[in-house]
Structure 1
Amino acid sequence: MHNYKELEVWKESIKFCPEIYKLVRKLPEEEKFGLISQLKRAVISIPSNIAEGSAKSSDKHFIIFLENSLGSCYEIETQLLVCVELSFITEIEYNQIMEKLFSIIKKLIKFIKYLNDKNK
C-alpha cells in the first residue's frame, strides 16, 4: 500500500481541481448539466482514483486506478477541446490548462511504468 498524500502526482492533481472549477465558471449556464458537470466529475476523479487505488493490496490493482486517473485526464483534454470548438474558452486558456494537465499525465505514466517494472 502507498500513502497517497505523499505522492507528487496526487498533490499536483489536488491543486489542479480549482483550476478547472475556475474555468467552468466561464461556461454558459446551459452547460450546467453538460460540460460543467463532466469537467468537475473528471477532475475530481483524478486524485480520488489515486487515493482509492493506494489502498489496494497490490500494485497490480493500484495500477488499474492510476489508469482510471489517466483516463480522466484524457477525458478533460477532450472536453476542453470541445470548449475551444464552441468558443467557450480561448486557445490561450486551453494551452495554459493543458500545460498543467500534461504534467499530471506525465507523472501518472511514469508512476504506472515504475510500478509495472517493479513487479516484473
Structure 2
Amino acid sequence: MKRERQMKLKNEVIYELQAELCGALAHPVRLKILDLLGEKELNIGEIQGELGISGPNLTQHLNVLKKAGLLHARKAGVFQFCSLAIPQVRSACQVMSKVLEAKLLKTDAAARSLRSEMQG
C-alpha cells in the first residue's frame, strides 16, 4: 500500500511538472524558438532575425524558456548564444505536431463528409 501511495505521489509530481512545462510551451513564438534551436545553437540576433520580433519581446520569451529549464544560454564576448538545455524537447514538440496534423486531417475529413451530406 505504501509503494502504491508513493507511485501515486510521484505521478502527481510529474503531472504538475508536465503542466508547468506545457505552460512554457504555450506560445507559438516559443515553439518556433525551440524548433530553431533544435537545429543548432544561435545567438540572440540570429534568433531575432529568423523570427522578426523585437528584442524585448524575444527576451521575454527566452526568459520563460530559461525559467522552465528548456534553454541554455552562454556569453561569448558581446554575443549571447542559446541552445536547448534538454534536446529531447524538440522530439516532444515534433510528436505534438504529428498529433495535431492527424487531428486536422480527421477534422477535415469530417467537415468534407458533413458538407457532402448537406449538399446531397
Would you say same fold, with TM above 0.5? Answer: no
Higher share of residues assigned strand: 2
Q: What's the TM-score once normalised by structure 1's chain length?
A: 0.33
User: Max radius of gyration: which structure?
Assistant: 2
Higher share of residues assigned helix: 1
Q: What's the TM-score once normalised by structure 2's chain length?
A: 0.33
